[in-house]
């Protein structure tokens, strides 16, 4: 069932486990995520980016998520999140389409501009009973920053500014930078667990970790202890999709003429990857 993300993440914070937020861009990805959630009896968040909206159609993709959740999820709670929204207009569109969480990402703006943009989004979204996630600090992407000049101390979230940010904006969830990175960008050799613990204590809201595709066992355990309630997973979903697709097709002499014979194993591969993450995050049987 489609639920408000507050219902999922506040329970995760209280229960000291984390939930996976998995990116989706087509029907098979959505189905694989939901099938895994149902099998493991785990709450999950399905995420859609602006680029996926442009690829598949915003309304079409949102309706796919809502339909699959309605038909397949039974009583397993699932939220639908706008991932890395950059403007209030996009947030308004997501709320209109029935998203049950929105993220406004002003992390590349100045601290004051990020605060003010987030506050405007929160004021609007809370009026529609939709919770808001924001990001403070820099979680880098490959090609965004010259790694030879990398200064993780500058990129990481400042705990005191995090408290000021949350107090001013009244944001519901905060994505933090503690040495984590998106995609194939090399992360810091050691994540700053003390920083994470301080941010958690000062803000007292569910914290989110982006760039978590390659995080497993030990690192996820430490992150959860430090206050992370949600791990974003995008790259690993894409890799599982493409690896299985290439494996099924096999070569340029592929004789498969029925796309269902290709996409069914892809859907199964997505399900398997999501189950793996659910086990890491400790959310199985929490539905």
Three-class secondary structure of residue 286 per DSSP:
coil
Active site residue 221: no
Rounded CA gap, 50 and 59, in Å? 12
Closest CA to 114 of 150, 162, 82: 162
Spatial distance between the Cα atoms of 38 and 16, rounded to a whole number of angstroms: 21
Find where tokens 């890799």 sit: 239
Q: Which two tokens stand for residue 79?
A: 């939220």
From the candidates 7, 83, 192, 264, give the one annotated as an active-site residue: 83
Which residues are CB-neighbours of 148 under 8 A, at least 6 positions away? none
Nearest partner of 230 among 85, 67, 101, 63, judged by Cα: 101
164 exposure class (CB count in 10 Å sphere: 0-12, 13-18, 19+): middle
Going by their DSSP bridges, the two strands 44-49 and 228-233 should be labelled as unpaired
- For the chain, the residue count is 287
> Distance (Å, rounded) from C-alpha 24 to C-alpha 49?
8
Please list, in sequence order, all residues whose beta carbon lies within 8 angstroms of the beta carbon of residue 48, skipping any fewer than 6 positions away. 23, 24, 25, 58, 61, 62, 65, 80, 81, 82, 83, 99
Q: Residue 27: in which H helix or E strand, if any?
A: helix 27-40
Chain-centre distance for alpha carbon 152: 22
Active site residues: 83
């Amino acid at each position: 069932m489609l639920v408000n993300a507050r219902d999922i993440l506040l329970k995760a914070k209280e229960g000291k486990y984390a939930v996976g937020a998995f990116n989706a861009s087509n029907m098979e990805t959505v189905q694989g995520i939901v099938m895994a959630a149902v099998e493991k009896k785990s709450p999950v968040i399905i995420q859609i980016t602006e680029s996926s909206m442009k690829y598949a159609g915003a309304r079409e993709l949102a309706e796919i998520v809502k339909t699959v959740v309605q038909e397949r999820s039974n009583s397993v709670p699932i939220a639908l999140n706008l991932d890395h929204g950059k403007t209030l207009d996009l947030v308004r569109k997501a709320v209109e389409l029935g998203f049950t969480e929105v993220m406004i990402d002003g992390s590349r703006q100045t601290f004051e501009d990020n605060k003010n943009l987030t506050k405007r989004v929160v004021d609007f979204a809370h009026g529609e009973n939709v919770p808001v996630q924001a990001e403070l600090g820099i979680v880098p992407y490959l090609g965004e920053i010259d790694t030879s000049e990398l200064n993780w101390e500058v990129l990481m979230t400042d705990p005191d500014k995090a408290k000021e940010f949350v107090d001013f904006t009244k944001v519901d969830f905060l994505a933090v930078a503690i040495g984590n990175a998106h995609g194939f960008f090399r992360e810091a050799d050691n994540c700053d667990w003390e920083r994470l613990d301080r941010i958690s204590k000062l803000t007292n809201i569910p914290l989110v970790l982006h760039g978590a595709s390659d995080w497993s066992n030990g690192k996820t355990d430490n992150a959860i202890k430090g206050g992370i309630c949600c791990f974003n997973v995008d790259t690993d979903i894409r890799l599982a999709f493409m690896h299985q697709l290439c494996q099924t097709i096999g070569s340029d002499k592929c004789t498969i003429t029925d796309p269902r014979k290709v996409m069914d194993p892809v859907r199964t591969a997505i399900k398997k990857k999501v189950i793996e993450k659910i086990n890491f995050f400790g959310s199985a049987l929490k539905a």
